[in-house]
């Protein structure tokens, strides 16, 4: 028997559904960038996630994020390269060459990817 009663969870991005199923536990990261879902079988699924919103209503959770990448599909070297590029773009933007908000958001997600890839 499950430790916690399962409930429906969906993680949705603009590209589509990253996860849909019943879960016992949903851990939404806030600024940490890693969402963890313990499904009803007790398996933990990890995702690098971008900023977004969470709605919990009537024993159902919906997580809306800009991006969600399954931890198992992240290439660690690619994540490190993306982080370096995002930090360089942020430096340029803060120096007046680009959109600072977009650069900060890209850097934050790149950090989440690298963190999840190396965990």
CATH of the domain at 28: 2.60.15.10
Host domain of residue 58: 7-71
Residue 65's nearest CA partner among 92, 101, 29, 104 is 29
Q: What tokens does 87 get?
A: 């930090």
Write down the pLDDT at residue 29. Answer: 79
Domain check: are 80 and 95 in the same one? yes
Q: Residue 96 gets which letter from DSSP? A: T
Q: Considering its fold, how many domains does the chain have in total?
A: 2
Residue ranges, the chain, pLDDT below 70: 1-2, 30
d(CA 79, CA 83): 6
105 within some domain: yes
92 within some domain: yes
Write down the pLDDT at residue 2. Answer: 57
d(CA 106, CA 86): 6
Residue 67 contacts residue 46 (beta carbons within 8 Å): no
Domain check: are 48 and 82 in the same one? no
C-alpha distances in Å from residue 103, one per residue of 71, 84, 85, 92, 106: 23, 12, 10, 9, 5
Domain check: are 49 and 91 in the same one? no
Q: Residue 30 gets which letter from DSSP? A: G
108 within some domain: yes
**Sign of the four-CA dihedral 91, 92, 95, 97:** negative
């Amino acid at each position: 028997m499950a430790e916690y009663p399962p409930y429906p969870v969906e993680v949705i991005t603009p590209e589509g559904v990253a996860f849909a199923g019943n879960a016992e536990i949903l851990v939404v990261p806030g600024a940490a960038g890693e969402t963890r879902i313990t499904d009803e079988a007790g398996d933990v699924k990890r995702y690098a996630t971008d900023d977004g919103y969470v709605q919990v209503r009537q024993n159902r959770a919906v997580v809306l994020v800009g991006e969600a990448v399954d931890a198992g599909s992240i290439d660690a070297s690619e994540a490190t390269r993306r982080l370096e590029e995002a930090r360089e773009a942020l430096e340029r933007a803060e120096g007046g060459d680009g959109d600072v908000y977009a650069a900060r958001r890209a850097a934050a997600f790149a950090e989440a990817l690298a963190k999840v890839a190396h965990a």
